[in-house]
Structure 1
Amino acid sequence: MDIIERLTQQRERKAQLEAEIEAVDTEIRHLVRAGFAEGIRTSAMATAAGLSAPRMYQIRDGRR
């Protein structure tokens, strides 16, 4: 396999992984909003998600 083929494969692999990460991020945002709607403590969600409390509020409010 030559370098051009390998570069093409890696570009395609990177695009696939980025799409998977975006899907995970979307699900996390959905779960955080659902958690707020259910009254789950911000600190508990932040710990579970590995994010800060301010980030939880950003997600809740649709910022960034």
Structure 2
Amino acid sequence: MTGAMDPADRLASERDLLSLYLDELQKTVPTSFPTSRTRSWLIGATRFAIAMEELDTLESSP
């Protein structure tokens, strides 16, 4: 892929990847693992990563 990905497509793709990761995480962690807390943290971390990527894109634009 050579161009910038449409923001809506990128967000959908990142949501899909996060969902797959969370599904795998739930399969591999002990039952006492705080899944909802981890899910909240991962969602926050993903949002932060998206915001940083968008900021980098804006800063590099002419």
TM-score range with shorter-chain normalisation?
A: 0.3 to 0.5
- Structure having the higher helix fraction is 1
After TM superposition, the score normalised by the length of structure 2 is: 0.46
Q: Which has the higher contact order (CA 8 A, sep 6+)?
A: 2
After TM superposition, the score normalised by the length of structure 1 is: 0.45
Q: Which structure has the bigger radius of gyration?
A: 1
